[in-house]
Amino acid sequence: MPDVRFRGYLIKVKQFFLSLLLLFSVFAGSIDAQRTRPSQRPATPAASAPAQTRPSFEVPFVNKTLPNGLEVIVLEDPSLPIVTVELAVRNGSFTEPPELNGLSHLYEHMFFKTNLASLLFQCQPFLLRGGVNPICNEPMRLKDQIGDVSYLRDVDKLGIAQNGSTREEVVNYYFTTTSQNLPTAVKIINNAVRFPLFDQQELENEKQIVIGELERNESNPFSYLFQELNNRLFFKYPTRKNPGGTRETVAAATTEKMRVIQSRYYFPNNAALIVTGDTKADDVFKLVQDVMGSWEPRKVDAFKEFPLVEHPPLPKSTGVVIEKNTGEESQSEDQNVFVLLGWHGPSIGKDDASTYAADVFSYILSQPDHRFQRNLIDTGLASSVAINYYTQRNVGPITVFLITTPDKAKAALKAVYAEIAQFTDPKYFTDEELENSKNILENLDLFDREKPSEYSHTLGFWWSSTGIDYFRGYHKNLRAASRADINRYINTYITGKPRVGVALVAPEAKAKAALTEQDLTGGAK
């Protein structure tokens, strides 16, 4: 799952989500969390320090939509002769019916394999010598569309780093290289996205790799906990929140199913090309138009032809205790208990104001001197606690993550729900804490822009999940989040609302923890 390459995604401070996913190590380099930061408890300004307000910061990127619908986003940074080119596609598990679950992720793996352009390059010397090979028929038929492939002669010598990731609402592919190789990187992306081959043997190989990732994921207790929560929180369509898929769906993948993914979502009017680094926006716009301008758009919007499902609200609160080895070396009744609570949160496009309020409120509660932390950590009831909201177009989850011990599990959950009951109390946080949290969030966003090659992932994520205008106004709207906005967010999505509680307890510790469904739901029905 996430690694250091993806720190540029980390815009909104989502303490729980990344802390959990970093432990998960799910689909390394493939499936990734966004807009989250590691779970270290950040230093907070001294209580006596006055809160500083400041004008909002404009994101210094420019964007242009080409005639075929492809959006091109450019962030100029001449500090180093390096560029990153990223293709973001609105795809992922939120587009997948159950029978196709995980195939967007498998498609991502196949993106970097042999395509018709590279096959054409391989065939040309053979054909010039008068050879005949049926595998060359298709690339030769598309020769005029594919164009010149001579650039592939030296592509292995250029040191172009490439990778991709798959999440619920976006699949992205990115290439980092020197500025002079920008045209080559754009051509590579163009050929990969427009002329896939889906070689049968390569597909079978990648299926086994993905299945191996799934098996490693299932053996990770943290990943298992998170998936169990999603299965219950999004009970009617859980696969829409599972980018990895299942062994069964991945094993059943065929070339024809890969083509289904391509035919629905891999079009310029469902994609964005993001370029960051040492280049000029006007040069990029011209280059991309020259290389990718002939990429034909989809005539019918895929999301109209294949509408996204609506996750129904939870009918009631539920809780479950799962017996599973927690991954700790000691097999004893004193092993840690891991608890995850979840609510349906706001969706982008339906309640944008609450998404900003959720960010600010989550960060207020993440500060080590806030009572939420003091009453759980400093009392010894928990070794870690975090509240998080994960911004998404298709129902972002609100989660509380708790690590405690079997003998304190009941008391810790009681304390968590006691805190939740106080969330809307005017004294629960101060005006100073509110403003300081906004300032810190803005600073963290600015820090993430230090490395444009990573920031391209941030831009790709925001474009796909929220739309670039949401991101462009992030600082302004974050700054505008008020107490009233936060209270409305809490009352709309948390207070008195159905929730799911999942506890992961080692078999040896279950009796000592003695957790019940009522403990996990706080007595809610």
Does residue 227 belong to any structural domain of this protein? yes
Domain enclosing residue 381, as ranges: 310-521
Q: Same domain for 202 and 244?
A: yes
Same domain flag for 191 and 73? yes
Same domain, 77 and 202: yes
Residue where a domain terminates, one of 242, 267, 295: 295
For residue 54, the tally of other CB atoms under 10 A from its CB is 11
Instruction: Tell me the CATH number at 457.
Output: 3.30.830.10
What span, in angstroms and rounded, lies between the C-alpha atoms of 107 and 203?
Answer: 9
Q: Which of 312, 489, 311 is nearest to 389 (CA)?
A: 489
Answer with the one of 295, 318, 351 that is the final residue of a domain. Answer: 295
Q: Do 358 and 437 sit in the same domain of this protein?
A: yes
pLDDT < 70 stretches in the chain: 1-59, 127-132, 327-332
CB 505 within 8 A of CB 358: no
Asked if 372 and 387 touch (Cβ cutoff 8 Å), the reply is: yes
- Measured CA to CA, the distance from residue 8 to residue 176 in angstroms comes to 14
279/361 same-domain check = no
If asked whether residues 277 and 358 sit together in one domain, one would say: no
Length of the chain: 525
Question: Are 268 and 391 members of one domain?
Answer: no
Instruction: Characterize 286-311 residue by residue with b for buried, 16 or more Cβ atoms within 10 angstroms of its Cβ, and e for exposed.
Output: ebbbebbeebeebeeebeeeeeeeeb
Mean per-residue pLDDT over the chain, rounded: 87
Q: How many domains does the chain fold into? A: 2
In a domain, 151, yes or no: yes
This prediction has a pTM of 0.87
Give me the pLDDT at residue 47, please.
Answer: 38
Give SS3 for 71.
Answer: strand
Residues 290, 320, single domain; the answer is no
Final residue before a domain boundary, out of 247, 270, 295: 295
Picking from 90, 35, 94, 88, the residue whose alpha carbon sits closest to that of residue 63 is 88
- Write out 273-336 in H/E/C secondary structure: EEEEECCCHHHHHHHHHHHHCCCCCCCCCHHHHCCCCCCCCCCCCEEEEEECCCCCCCCCCCCC
Do 279 and 177 share a structural domain? yes
Q: Alpha helices, DSSP H only, in 35-142?
A: 103-111, 116-128, 137-141
Q: What does 450-493 look like in DSSP terms, one character per residue?
A: G-HHHHHHHHHHHHHHT-HHHHHTHHHHHHH--HHHHHHHHHHH
Instruction: Say how far apart CA 418 and CA 232 lie, in whole Å.
Output: 24
